[in-house]
Amino acid sequence: MARTAFITGSSTGFGKATAVAFGDAGWNVVATMRNPRDWDREPSDRLLPIALDVTEPMSIRSAFEAGVAAFGRVDAVVNIAGIAAFSVFETTPDKAVRLLFETNLFGPLELMRVAIPHLREHGGGHIVNLTSASSIVPEPLMAAYNASKAALDNFSETVRLELAPQNIEVKIIEPGFVPTTALVPKLYASAPTLDIPAAYAAYVQQRMGFFAQLAAEPPVPLPTAEDVAQTILASVNDDARRLRWVVGEDQNERMRMKWSTSEPEYTAWSWREFGPAT
């Protein structure tokens, strides 16, 4: 019997690539998104595009129940739906910060709360949460986004111990910079509309220039959405209880500095890597 994956954020980017990857690997796929008409792939009796708004608990529950009704059970829940924000924290509206946390943290938590009893009843399964490499080594000018992803990262590491006796495994996927997704153009497009006080202007320009240079002339090959999707697929086929899966060669040095050096070394490195130009 084919296994079933329930995937959020499936209309574009990581979510769409993941829905395709799981389908190609023989899984049934519940591909959830705000508007199912956004799904532009060929119809299949093994794939169900369905509406889901991760900020609405009733939408989460009804979508999950519809997925179970369609395929009999769910074996893997993949939390991908999310939003990002490139902004100066001082002038970021409270409404925008709250929406980041509602989408990136509380939505995945609510889906987990719905899915856990089902997974336990059917002998276990996987929960995969897409966070970000910047939840471990935070990018400047993305403070609220980093915090929402770091909270999900920390939560996932903690709750995996609670769920292990129920044969439910939790995985964390931490992508680095992926220039081929819609996220990067959206961040660039929103930049001119930001409220940037004069005190921050030079640093904002410095960081925007960094991303533009990285996309144009990457020092190492940068990952694609398909690379992230294949990592997610590998994580649910892993039986070694590996928790974190970092995607992108560009993150190797950052993770080494975070995990394998002293605090003074990391601090000095982070100022060199991210600090304002003198």
pLDDT (tens, 9 = 90+) of the chain, 278 residues, equals 899 999 999 999 999 999 999 999 999 999 999 999 999 988 799 999 999 999 999 999 999 999 999 999 999 999 999 999 889 999 999 999 999 999 999 999 999 999 999 999 999 999 999 999 999 999 999 999 999 999 999 999 999 999 999 999 999 999 999 988 766 666 666 666 678 999 999 999 999 889 888 888 999 999 999 999 999 999 999 988 999 999 999 999 999 999 999 999 999 999 999 999 97
Domain positions in the chain are 4-274
| Cα gap 24→224, rounded to integer Å | 17
> What predicted TM-score, i.e. pTM, was given to this entire model?
0.95
Q: Which two tokens stand for residue 128?
A: 């995969």
Q: Give the closest residue to 180 by CA, choosing from 13, 15, 41, 39.
A: 13
Q: Would residue 258 show up in a list of annotated catalytic residues for this protein?
A: no
Q: Would residue 266 show up in a list of annotated catalytic residues for this protein?
A: no
The pLDDT assigned to 231 comes to 98
The pLDDT assigned to 239 comes to 85
| Cα gap 66→68, rounded to integer Å | 5
Q: Which two tokens stand for residue 168?
A: 């439910």
CATH, range 4-274: 3.40.50.720
**List 16, 145, 171, 200, catalytic entry:** 145
**List 149, 186, 188, 266, catalytic entry:** 149
Q: Which two tokens stand for residue 241?
A: 């209880």
The pLDDT assigned to 220 comes to 92
Instruction: Report helix, strand or coil for 84.
Output: coil
Using CA of residue 19, residue 25, residue 27, residue 28, what is the dihedral sign? positive
The pLDDT assigned to 43 comes to 79
The pLDDT assigned to 100 comes to 96
Beta bridge partners of 169: 126
Q: What share of the chain is helix, strand, coil (3-state, %, to 5)?
A: 55, 15, 30
The pLDDT assigned to 69 comes to 98
The pLDDT assigned to 42 comes to 84
